[in-house]
Structure 1
């Protein structure tokens, strides 16, 4: 038996309908089986965060559900957590790969794929900042190595050192012509991140305000932005 409690939540995504998610019961859950999370740099304080349904992830899923996207695009979600946006992309028949740093993220994603009656989906271990790739390989995890046409994320800028590390990670896994989508709940680091991403050839293409009244999934409401960056390399 698992030493943590879970529940099934249903969230409505625009044009995608109701998506069912297995989530952790609350932010008090913790069970680091064989110390895998600690060996991957996931602390006890951050351990349960991957298993929560965050408002930013719903807004990103809405964008994925409603934006025109070419099925030839190779898409990556980073810091996917429960993988809601990835599930919506998968439902649309897009070429999606989900990634995260948490050792249980892939297990929860598999369960959520099954709950929504979808075919299996690609998942990789991916982390920016301190390199835990070798440790991940020792633990038997598949490490992210490919490049993508579109990378997306929600609520991933929550520490002071993340803007530069995240921008470098995006550059590492982006094709020369690529886009990056971010839903940011105004944590205060988006400006620094934009400047860091600009150093890798990306420019801001869209900056849309997002607001939401209190709801079942977000009692405090939501205030943030959808940021879309693009890079285009002209070959001589």
Structure 2
């Protein structure tokens, strides 16, 4: 179920070859991640902070592309936990936008959804395809490169999900159009988005309110503060949206 993207190796290659390609670019390891009663082995960069420091040092005063795709964001973990509220997964399809290493979509596949995980970054797709194969989910999960500001996939999904995809205001209108082009036009379809509470997305929600019925849930979690090493309470917002226009 692999596809060709802008990597040095096609994603249809065997797991050992894909893993070799990842190791040629990064120091990596598999890490167990548990959501509910399910545990997946997810490929991780050993030290993302150190990688960012090296990239900044190499870039000097020039532009630098930070590996945000490689981070497991708390909003992604909480969104994965929220999947259990969607009802029975059998026969239902999921599209993940901005999948990163594929955490949310992979847990959806583990639960029984048929999932397409998309991202624009070729290394994100490489890591996601490795994680699909490593966890034996190739019968229910696949990857595709998708730029939500320009691309269309030509199909609709029962559930569309995205964690921390509301960080660029300039993309809000394009992102909303992408969601509208891919969400199934039926009453049990759902768009699930999660974000850090401090990341405001007022303009996106105003745009989305014209097309979706929106419910919001605020979830608290604890995260270790890097300065003190002490647990710090933070908040995440999870939005469930249903399309107002039904076929």
Q: TM-score range by the shorter chain?
A: 0.7 to 0.9
Question: How many residues end up aligned between the 2 structures?
Answer: 207
Answering whether residue 32 of structure 2 is matched by residue 10 of structure 1, we say yes
Cα distance change on mapping 1:84 and 1:221 into 2, 3 Å? farther
Give distance in 2, aligned partners of 1:95 and 1:51. 23
Q: CA deviation at 1:191?
A: 2.2
Distance between the aligned counterparts of 1:65 and 1:114, measured in 2?
A: 23
Q: The residue matched to 1:148 in structure 2 has which SS? A: coil
Which deviates the most, 187-196 or 221-230? Answer: 187-196
Gaps spanning 5+ residues in structure 2: where? Answer: 1-22, 53-62
1:166 equivalenced with 2:186 (yes/no): no
Query: Aligned to 1:23, which of 21, 44, 48?
Result: 44
Asked whether 1:175 is paired with 2:223, we answer no
Q: Does structure 1 conserve the Cα–Cα contact (< 8 Å) formed by 2:119 and 2:144?
A: yes
How far the C-alpha of 1:65 sits from its partner, in A, is 4.2
Structure 1: stretches of 5+ with no match in the other structure: 31-42, 134-142
TM normalised by structure 1 equals: 0.77
SS in 2 for 1:87: helix
Q: Partner of 1:115 in structure 2?
A: 134
Establish whether residue 87 from structure 1 lines up as the match of residue 106 from structure 2: yes
Give the secondary structure class of the aligned counterpart of 1:57.
Answer: helix
Alpha carbons of structure 1 residues 234 and 153: separation in structure 2 relative to 1, 3 Å: closer
Are residues 1:75 and 2:105 paired?
Answer: no
Matched-pair contact (CA < 8 Å) for 1:81–1:105: yes
Confirm or deny: 8 A CA contact 2:213 2:244 kept in the other structure: no
**Could you tell me which residue of structure 1 aligns to residue 124 of structure 2?**
105
TM-score with structure 2 length normalisation? 0.74
